[in-house]
């Protein structure tokens, strides 16, 4: 895995600062690629890379060119089917000078142009410079596993794997975007292509872009599709299980391609246990697995993790996260997420990846994607129950089904009927709304906005963030089943914008560790999306087909256990007696006034409630985490200078096209 950055001035000749500016961006993302670094310079362009060496350790240096010197690439990611593609190219007469997948990407583009993207099975973000055309081509993987951010103004364009790299450039202003903040405090993330910062956007998942003297062109190359209700085909369950089994086996097999040891996360749940079973089937040698538990037993799954490790006979590293460690590392987490967050869950993942790094492991297989594409989340069940309840809105029995979904929410556990109706009854009867499954979650999250200053969002003129989703839904969205709609929304918004970013790529790459996701193999996604709904969510039995597939492959206790959402302590960590001083300082009245985002009196009232041991609701917990993370983000990215590390500016391999010519 790597980090990439570049600058392109459409018309002007190369400025003396281009080399230094590319270096500055790369220095900010050195954690993504501590092994090697390089910069390529042309007359009006500079592109660079920091490399985490995983495939072809000896000769895969970047920036890399083809034999003609026409095309130059910087690349972040892995193309898992690169061996098959290489063979295809060699059969057509293409010669290779390295064994890396980077060169395969480069040669595929040289042969097929943008059509090469449909042939890639991987997770990637890359830039290719065409010296003849004076054109830059950038692309990102189908579901947004690898990040790519950019800024453009007038005739200048800059891109980087992380936003902090862009902010190392003096010409880029730094300010929060209020519309984006409103989205985050509704959906937990921004809606692509927006980011929390003005004029900083992401290349959307499944898209590519071309930049030349004519400007910028962006095009979509992959869609996440589901069949219309009437077109869902029934299939034999046994045959479907067999086909899914073959797909997952191959998805794991090709993700084990690496010239360094590969480990796996073992959470104690169904998804990670299944991927571990496939790893053992592919290669029965010793497997290094890693898991995180919590001293706070409310959130701990250590018993299941150890049971799975024993069952598979892995070399297991179990790490228990304390409240003190979570609090101490929360600010660094925000430095890497570059987004406000409403849960502390990313921090333990950051600490876990640090344990992986300390074990000299660079790659881990994880189970993300199974919940989204096989119907594993409670929000899918919740929508199903609410639709069932909406058929008889006066029923007192039907809403009680909802209490079984969230045993970890004390306020719901023994709620009276009226309380249940108040909590879950929001827009209950609006079942034809295309966003029905998520309306309740987004409404509850939006309540946190009451902590903002009264006029903070006034410039938005009452804009409803839901309109931004409705205006960009697929044309055939209305013909999909309720579950398909839910899955699309969850995968495109929460998974891509939060799970794979704030909790995935950023936490792992913050410690120079690459995550690989077999369930996000595009073949697996497309196959799951065509399945009948009841193979995924059978009544209220989530991931039904995966449980059937896992029988005999993993411990029975894990197959049959109730799903436990991954969560981390909030109040007991951030407000313990031993919490670091910076947490209280950044929530002080002075800091809140300096930021000009949140209402100091309302924040003070919430803090008093927490310190007095009052009953803290889920909304309260999201609110305090969101307030704290936004304050930290504002301080680190807006109020304080972002200065490139001088040590990281040294020892770059420089390739100057002027000297080549």
Phi, psi dihedrals of residue 516, rounded to the nearest 5°: -125, 140
Give the residue from 51, 77, 223 showing the smallest Cα distance to 145.
77
HEC string of 502-514 equals HHHHHHHHCCCCE
Give the residue from 364, 369, 368, 418 showing the smallest Cα distance to 396.
418
Give the residue from 67, 72, 43 showing the smallest Cα distance to 138.
72
* Residue 104 lies inside a defined structural domain of this protein: yes
Alpha-carbon distance of 622 to 636, in angstroms, equals: 21
178-187 and 436-446 helices, crossing angle to 10°: 120
Least confident of 94-108, 279-293, 467-481, 642-656: 642-656
Average pLDDT over residues 251-259: 93
The sheet carrying 262-265 orders its strands as 315-321, 288-294, 262-265, 363-365, 514-516
Specify whether 193 is located in the same domain as 323.
no
pLDDT of residue 285: 85
Specify whether 267 is located in the same domain as 184.
no
Specify whether 320 is located in the same domain as 185.
no
Query: Residue 312 burial (CB < 10 Å; 0-12/13-18/19+)?
Result: buried
Binned at pLDDT 50, 70 and 90, residue 502 comes out as: very high
pLDDT tens per residue, range 76-111: 999 999 999 999 999 999 999 999 999 999 999 999
* Residue 546 lies inside a defined structural domain of this protein: yes
pLDDT of residue 661: 39
Is the pLDDT at 13 greater than 70? The verdict is no
Is the pLDDT at 441 greater than 80? The verdict is yes
pLDDT of residue 31: 93
Is the pLDDT at 409 greater than 90? The verdict is no
Least confident of 34-38, 262-266, 435-439, 521-525: 34-38
Specify whether 135 is located in the same domain as 280.
no
Specify whether 185 is located in the same domain as 249.
no
Specify whether 70 is located in the same domain as 94.
yes
Find the helix or strand (DSSP H, E) in which 358 lies: helix 346-358
pLDDT of residue 656: 74
Domain end residue (candidates: 560, 578, 609): 560
* Residue 286 lies inside a defined structural domain of this protein: yes
Least confident of 40-54, 240-254, 353-367: 40-54
* Residue 86 lies inside a defined structural domain of this protein: yes
Average pLDDT over residues 101-128: 97
Find the helix or strand (DSSP H, E) in which 135 lies: strand 135-140
Alpha-carbon distance of 367 to 268, in angstroms, equals: 11
Alpha-carbon distance of 566 to 182, in angstroms, equals: 25
pLDDT of residue 401: 87
CATH number for 48: 3.60.20.10
Specify whether 45 is located in the same domain as 80.
yes
In contact, 5 and 37? CB cutoff 8 Å: no
Alpha-carbon distance of 486 to 491, in angstroms, equals: 9
Give the residue from 154, 161, 195 showing the smallest Cα distance to 175.
195
- Residue range of the domain that includes 349: 229-373+490-560
* Residue 46 lies inside a defined structural domain of this protein: yes
Is the pLDDT at 660 greater than 60? The verdict is no
Binned at pLDDT 50, 70 and 90, residue 277 comes out as: very high
Alpha-carbon distance of 409 to 618, in angstroms, equals: 7
Tokens 């496939």 belong to residue: 278
* Residue 504 lies inside a defined structural domain of this protein: yes
3-state class (DSSP) for residue 207: strand
Specify whether 244 is located in the same domain as 109.
no
* Residue 427 lies inside a defined structural domain of this protein: no
Binned at pLDDT 50, 70 and 90, residue 357 comes out as: very high
Q: Point out the catalytic residue in the list 2, 116, 127, 160.
A: 2
Domain end residue (candidates: 517, 545, 560): 560
Domain end residue (candidates: 178, 206, 222): 222
Binned at pLDDT 50, 70 and 90, residue 232 comes out as: confident
* Residue 387 lies inside a defined structural domain of this protein: no
> Is 2 in the active site?
yes
Our count of domains for the chain comes to 2
Mean pLDDT, rounded, of the chain: 92
Specify whether 271 is located in the same domain as 331.
yes
Question: Is omega for the bond preceding 482 within 30 degrees of 0, making it cis?
Answer: no
Binned at pLDDT 50, 70 and 90, residue 647 comes out as: low
Is the pLDDT at 554 greater than 80? The verdict is yes
CATH number for 237: 3.40.50.620
Average pLDDT over residues 212-226: 95
Alpha-carbon distance of 561 to 558, in angstroms, equals: 5
Is the pLDDT at 14 greater than 60? The verdict is no
Binned at pLDDT 50, 70 and 90, residue 410 comes out as: low
Average pLDDT over residues 384-388: 96
Specify whether 178 is located in the same domain as 248.
no
Binned at pLDDT 50, 70 and 90, residue 561 comes out as: confident
Specify whether 369 is located in the same domain as 240.
yes
Is the pLDDT at 415 greater than 80? The verdict is no
Binned at pLDDT 50, 70 and 90, residue 412 comes out as: low
Q: Which long-range contacts (CB under 8 A, 24 or more apart) does 204-209 make?
A: 204/140, 204/144, 205/140, 205/141, 205/142, 205/143, 205/144, 205/496, 206/140, 206/141, 206/142, 206/143, 206/144, 207/139, 207/140, 208/114, 208/117, 208/137, 208/138, 208/139, 208/140, 209/137, 209/138, 209/139
Rg of the chain over all Cα atoms, to the nearest angstrom:
25
Specify whether 278 is located in the same domain as 213.
no
pLDDT of residue 154: 84
pLDDT of residue 653: 78
Residue 531's contacts (CB-CB under 8 Å, 6 or more residues apart) are 235, 240, 545
């Amino acid at each position: 895995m790597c980090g990439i950055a570049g600058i392109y001035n459409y018309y002007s000749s190369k400025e003396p600062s281009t080399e230094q500016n590319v270096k500055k961006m790369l220095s900010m993302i050195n954690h993504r690629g501590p092994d090697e670094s390089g910069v390529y310079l042309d007359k009006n362009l500079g592109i660079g890379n920091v490399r985490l060496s995983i495939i072809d350790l000896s000769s895969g240096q970047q920036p890399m060119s083809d034999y003609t010197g026409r095309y130059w690439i910087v690349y972040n990611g892995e193309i898992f089917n690169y061996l098959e593609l290489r063979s295809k190219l060699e059969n057509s007469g293409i010669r290779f000078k390295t064994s890396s997948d980077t060169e395969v990407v480069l040669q595929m583009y040289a042969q097929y142009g943008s059509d090469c993207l449909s042939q890639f099975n991987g997770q990637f973000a890359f830039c290719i410079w065409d010296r003849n055309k004076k054109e830059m081509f950038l692309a990102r993987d189908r579901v947004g596993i690898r990040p790519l951010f950019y800024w453009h103004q007038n005739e200048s364009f800059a891109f980087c794997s992380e936003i902090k790299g862009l902010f190392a450039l003096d010409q880029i202003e730094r300010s929060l975007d209020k519309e984006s903040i409103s989205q985050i405090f509704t959906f937990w993330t921004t809606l692509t292509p927006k980011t929390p910062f003005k004029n900083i956007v992401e290349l959307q998942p499944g898209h590519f872009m071309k930049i030349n003297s004519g400007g910028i062109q962006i095009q979509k190359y992959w869609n996440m599709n589901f069949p219309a209700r009437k077109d869902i085909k029934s299939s034999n369950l046994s045959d479907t299980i067999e086909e899914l089994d073959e797909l997952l086996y191959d998805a794991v097999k090709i993700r084990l391609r690496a010239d360094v040891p590969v480990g796996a996360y073992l959470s104690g749940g169904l998804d990670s246990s299944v991927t571990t079973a496939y790893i053992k089937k592919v290669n029965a040698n010793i497997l290094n697995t890693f898991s995180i538990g919590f001293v706070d037993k409310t959130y701990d799954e250590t018993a299941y993790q150890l049971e799975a490790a024993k069952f598979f006979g892995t070399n297991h590293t179990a790490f228990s996260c304390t409240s003190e460690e979570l609090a101490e590392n929360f600010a660094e987490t925000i430095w890497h997420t570059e987004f406000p967050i409403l849960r502390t869950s990313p921090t333990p993942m950051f600490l876990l990846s640090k344990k992986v790094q300390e074990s000299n492991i660079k790659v881990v297989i994880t189970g993300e994607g199974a919940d989204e594409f096989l119907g594993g989340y409670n929000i899918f069940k919740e929508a199903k129950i609410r639709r069932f309840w909406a058929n008889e809105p006066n029923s007192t029995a039907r809403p009680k089904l909802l209490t079984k979904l969230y045993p970890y929410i004390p306020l719901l556990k023994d709620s009276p009927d009226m309380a249940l109706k108040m909590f879950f009854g929001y827009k209950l009867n609006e079942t034809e709304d295309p966003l029905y499954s998520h309306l309740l979650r987004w409404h509850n999250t939006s309540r946190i906005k009451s902590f903002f200053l009264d006029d903070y969002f006034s410039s938005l003129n009452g804009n409803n963030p839901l309109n931004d989703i409705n205006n960009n839904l697929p044309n055939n969205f209305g013909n999909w089943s309720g579950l398909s709609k839910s899955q699309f929304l969850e995968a495109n918004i929460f998974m891509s914008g939060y799970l794979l970013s704030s909790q995935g790529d950023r936490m792992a790459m913050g410690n120079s560790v690459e995550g690989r996701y077999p369930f996000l193999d595009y073949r697996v996604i497309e196959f799951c999306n065509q399945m009948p709904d009841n193979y995924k969510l059978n009544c209220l039995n989530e991931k039904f087909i995966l449980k059937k597939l896992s029988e005999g492959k993993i411990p029975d206790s894990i197959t049959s256990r109730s799903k436990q959402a991954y969560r981390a302590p909030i109040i007991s960590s951030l407000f313990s007696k031993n919490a670091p001083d910076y947490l209280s300082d950044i929530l002080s009245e002075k800091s809140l006034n300096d930021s000009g985002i949140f209402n100091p009196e309302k924040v003070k009232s919430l803090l008093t409630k927490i310190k007095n041991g009052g009953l803290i609701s889920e909304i309260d917990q999201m609110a305090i985490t969101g307030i704290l993370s936004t304050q930290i983000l504002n301080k680190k990215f807006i109020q304080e200078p972002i200065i490139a590390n001088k040590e990281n500016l040294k020892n770059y391999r420089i390739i100057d096209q002027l000297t080549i010519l």
